[in-house]
Structure 1
């Protein structure tokens, strides 16, 4: 499965670069990933009882005029080849590769509460210094967190949650006891 993901992502990247529309396609791929990543949409797309033309119609209705022809063809191909489960992984891989080509990265911030614009910019500034490249940030709220936030960026996890702090404190106290 990883080989197919890499293959499709590389082909999409090749088409974007050949058409000199990498930045435009990157924005569209993020839109696709975020829209199609919804669990209800995933269930619909992955349902073997829903015939391909109905799934194609979903893509046409949702994305007509909003995404490049080769991205639409990619979606149709995934449906035709019964590879619906690969759509999100391929788009994610494509986004990572396109960002690297453009010299930037994506970061996902998960916080216990809604962040202000100042807090988000402060996190972005810290990540730019840490990673040495521009960072696009998406913020989601997870009320399950006791407090704080964590960041997923460029294969790293930066954990500033209260739970993580408590676990570190607990580990330190255990080490001192020994």
Structure 2
């Protein structure tokens, strides 16, 4: 099961796998995924929360107390809350974001989904995302979830990564290749 964790390694992979197995056993994969998404949103919005998670200067009791308050305020309970408290008590809170990402990957794999990371120079409109999703669904034979990000330094084109496969059609890469070829000629 841990082979599905392409972006996660080490301790985070073991914790994500354990959480997923418990969620499956208790038949709470979907609610757990909703809670995890809410927690990821909080981490994305709060620099203080990220500091608490990453900093080794806080004791495990301080981390457990702070995380308990955050979870209660966000109305995240059950398996997810118990998991986060366990992670904090084991002094592994620094790996929590990877653990959460790992859980998503396992849940998606269990549903037969695969995630495609798409980087573009400008924000893609819904029609472009739908066309990419359809093309990737056909190419992979699986239901593809799109994770789109923007990197203006690409200048144009796309970078598409599905699992270990990557297609880079960005203008930046093409210009760099041309630059290297020109150096070899001259």
TM bin, normalised by shorter chain, reads 0.7 to 0.9
Question: What is the aligned counterpart of 1:46 among 54, 60, 83?
Answer: 54
| Paired position in structure 1 for 2:73 | 61
- Which 4+ runs in 1 deviate beyond 6 A? none
Gaps of 5+ in 1: none
| Paired position in structure 1 for 2:16 | 9
SS at 1:114's partner residue? coil
| Paired position in structure 1 for 2:104 | 95
Distance 1:58 1:30, change over 3 A: closer
Question: What is the aligned counterpart of 2:28 among 21, 32, 40?
Answer: 21
- 1:25 and 1:68 in contact (8 A); partners too: no
The number of equivalent residue pairs is 174
RMSD, aligned α-carbons:
2.7
Question: What is the aligned counterpart of 2:93 among 84, 89, 93?
Answer: 84
TM-score, normalization by structure 2: 0.78
TM-score, normalization by structure 1: 0.81
